[in-house]
Amino acid sequence: MNDKKYTKDHEWILLEESVATIGISNHAQESLGDIVFIELPKIGKTIKAKQEICVIESVKAASDIYSPIDGEIIEINKELEKDATIINQDAENKGWIFKIKVTEPNQLDDLMSAEDYSKFLEQ
């Protein structure tokens, strides 16, 4: 069972109680190609939905990562600072990027389920 929700910007978000884990989709890492660097956000930062949070640099381009939801950043995946290719290897698990303490969980209602997202990709 995949409880993740997906955005049109190819990010995934997994809400467990009041904490949301966020990363980029497997499709996104495939189109970015080899990822070489990620500029992680600062812990404690308060953010709004659709705000730019951090930047992923791949061999092809720099891509902004947006937050799908309001909240406060409470954890970042420090492993990615040492080896950003973890995102290429396992984008939707070990390649998670940051965790947010969520204040408006109903913002997730507008996002796509895994099934809707794969239909979205086929369009």
Partner 1 sequence: MTKLPLDIPLNDFHLARGAKMISFAGYNMPINYSSGIINEHNKVRTHCGIFDVSHMGQILIPSSNYNICNLEKYIPLNLKKLKSNKSNYSFLLNEKGGIIDDIIISNINLNNKTFFYIVYNASRKNHDENIFIKHTKNYKILKKNCLFAIQGPEAYRVLNKVIKIPNNIHFLDFFSTNIKLKNVLITRTGYTGEDGFEISIPIERAENFLKKLLEDNNSILCGLGSRDSLRVEAGLSLYGHELNEDITPIEAGLLWALDKERLNDNNLNGNKELFDQLCNQPAKKKIGIKMENRTMIREGMTIVNKNNDKIGIVTSGCFSPTLNKSIGLGYISSDYSLSNEIFCKIRDKLEVIKISNLPFVKKNYNKGAIK
**Contact positions toward partner 1, by CB under 8 A?**
33-34, 36-37, 39, 55, 57, 59-60, 62, 88
| Closer to partner 1 by Cβ: residue 16 or 61 | 61
Helical ranges in the chain per DSSP H: 26-32, 79-82, 86-89, 114-122
Question: Cα(4)–Cα(47) distance, rounded to whole angstroms?
Answer: 20
Neighbouring C-alpha atoms within 13 Å toward the C-beta of 75: 11
DSSP three-state, residue 87: helix
Q: Which is nearer to partner 1, 33 or 119 (CB)?
A: 33
- Of 9 and 57, nearer to partner 1 (C-beta) is 57
Distance in Å, CB of 88 to partner 1, minimum: 8
Minimum distance from CB of 40 to partner 1 (Å)? 11
Scanning the structure block, which residue is given the tokens 């720099």? Answer: 62
Q: Which is nearer to partner 1, 13 or 28 (CB)?
A: 28
Rounded least distance, CB 80 to partner 1, Å: 11
Minimum CB distance to partner 1, residue 113 (Å) = 27
CB 6 within 8 A of CB 116: yes
Q: Are the C-beta atoms of 13 and 7 separated by less than 8 Å?
A: yes
